[in-house]
Amino acid sequence: MTQVKESSTRNFNKELSATSCPVTYVMNKIGGHWKPIILYQLMSGPKRYSELRRAIPAITEKMLIQHLKQLQSDNLVIRRSENTVPPFVTYKLSAPGEELTPILTAMANWGVRDSGRQPRV
């Protein structure tokens, strides 16, 4: 994938849009296919990497790791690591991540109503 220069017009426009539009700001944080699904899975409590992997079988390891790191850097997910052998790492929602719970629940409820299917948690 080609890297975009930080000084590019595209980056400038993206940053300007994110600061002037709250929806753009939120979509930059939780947008995409996998981030809302990861956050939704963490709503039920802390999970280990392997639990997230089983709960979201369609996601690749690379994408899960990449999105968990992005969610951590955006302060939506907390990674807790214990120095044991083997290492014991859990992920949980941070306080700002927990504030997204009603939004994600509303999205899931709408999805259930619109599709006629039951949610899989």
Q: What is the pLDDT of residues 37-75, one digit of tens each?
A: 999 999 999 999 999 999 999 999 999 999 999 999 999
| pLDDT at residue number 1 | 47
Amino acid at 71: L
pLDDT at 18 over 90: no
Task: Specify the 3-state DSSP secondary structure of 20.
Answer: helix
For the chain, domain boundaries: 9-114
Is residue 95 within 8 A of residue 78, CB to CB? The reply is no
Topology of domain 9-114, CATH: Arc Repressor Mutant, subunit A (1.10.10)
| pLDDT at residue number 81 | 92
Q: How many C-beta atoms surround the C-beta of residue 105 within 10 A?
A: 13
Closest by CA to 42, choosing from 104, 114, 85, is 104
Secondary structure element (H or E) that encloses residue 108, with its range: helix 101-115
